[in-house]
Structure 1
Amino acid sequence: MVRKLRVGMLLLAVVGNLAWSLSAKANFNGKLTLEIDGLKNKEGQVCVSIFASSEGFPSDRDRGFQKQCTKITDTPLPITFENLKAGSYAVAVFHDQNNDRILNSNVFGIPKEGFGFSRNPEIRTGAPKFSEAAFLVAGPNTNIQIQLKYF
């Protein structure tokens, strides 16, 4: 009887700890550090938008979950975002050389400034889909490297 009670208490403790652990992981706030590489020069700034869904990705910065523009001081350039909940995100980045907060393009729609995306998907005829750039934030620190492309 005592042995069954101990086993039952042990099982209850294990299940309780597992439930607390899963709950704690679902409610954490993580930090995302981006390393922006491939900058052509240090002119202007780098603008980053984080998207939590495909809505607006990658070009509608106003629909981004978080966004910021950072003056270029180092190459590669580190940019950090705090307080991200666990989940799937995609990042769009551009090198805003003239500080107008717009990815400038020519008359054919081809970007005149550098750009990049999380997971560095291959660029063919247009911007990638959210699913091609999506990554998971599932811990306290997530590090992503983004290689800029210039045409």
Structure 2
Amino acid sequence: MKALYLATTLALATAGSGIAWAQNAAAATTPAPDASLTVTFEQIEMPEGQILLSLYDNEAAHDAGGKPVRAAMAKVEGKTVSVVFEGLAPGRYAIKAFHDVDGDGKMKTNPFGMPLEPFAFSNNAKPVGGPARWEAASFDVPVGASETRIAIQ
């Protein structure tokens, strides 16, 4: 009787782990949900140059000048310009951008480090003693398509 109980218990345990393994294997092969984000810059005063932007997915990188998860450049030819990021993981993001009016790929600053070219942050967050912080600039990107609008200052 004891041997039958042990054999039945092992058989059930093995069958159960086989089911769990099959579920885990299915989950491993199922692609993660994708998100896309359209970023539209508005109120562009000078229809020339390009918008350079960086997309961050964490506070440490955003606030400490770390590496963005994505970066893009969009040629300016009017009062608005859009950039689309595909294949993002749903989550929290923040954007830093500037209007490179002269097209040299660098933000022009005065001798004190103050920007001389228009710039902006997601949520239209305002700079306070430096670039806007993650807390003010971050926003959620859900599964599927989403959009954010940013006014270039």
Tell me the TM-score normalised to structure 2 length: 0.74
| 1:55–1:63 Cα contact (<8 Å) kept | no
Matched residue type, 1:138? P
Classify 1:57/1:101 alpha carbon distance in 2 versus 1 (closer, same or farther; 3 Å): farther
Matched residue type, 2:103? N
CA displacement at 1:112 relative to structure 2: 0.5
CA distances 1:73-93 after superposition (whole Å, capped 9, x unpaired): 232111111111111100111
Paired-residue identity, %: 25
Tell me the TM-score normalised to structure 1 length: 0.74
Match of 2:33 among 16, 28, 31: 28
Match of 1:37 among 13, 36, 42: 42
1:18 — aligned with what?
Answer: none
Matched residue type, 2:71? K
Greater fraction of residues in helix: 2
Structure 1 residue 127 corresponds to structure 2 residue 145: no
Distance across 2 between alignment mates of 1:103 and 1:144: 23
Classify 1:56/1:101 alpha carbon distance in 2 versus 1 (closer, same or farther; 3 Å): farther
Match of 2:109 among 94, 98, 105: 105
CA distances 1:23-73 after superposition (whole Å, capped 9, x unpaired): 8xx92111100110121211210001100112332684x701000111112
Which residues of structure 2 form unaligned runs of 5+? 1-26
Q: Describe the SS at the equivalent of 1:78.
A: strand
Q: How does 1:87-106 map to 2 (within 5 A)?
A: 87-106=91-110
Q: Which has the larger radius of gyration?
A: 2
Tell me how large the CA RMSD over aligned residues is.
Answer: 2.0
Count of residue pairs brought into register by the alignment: 124
Structure 1 residue 146 corresponds to structure 2 residue 133: no
Distance across 1 between alignment mates of 2:86 and 2:51: 18
Which residues of structure 1 form unaligned runs of 5+? 1-22
CA distances 1:83-136 after superposition (whole Å, capped 9, x unpaired): 111111001110011222222110111100010011111233221111210011
| 1:89–1:136 Cα contact (<8 Å) kept | yes
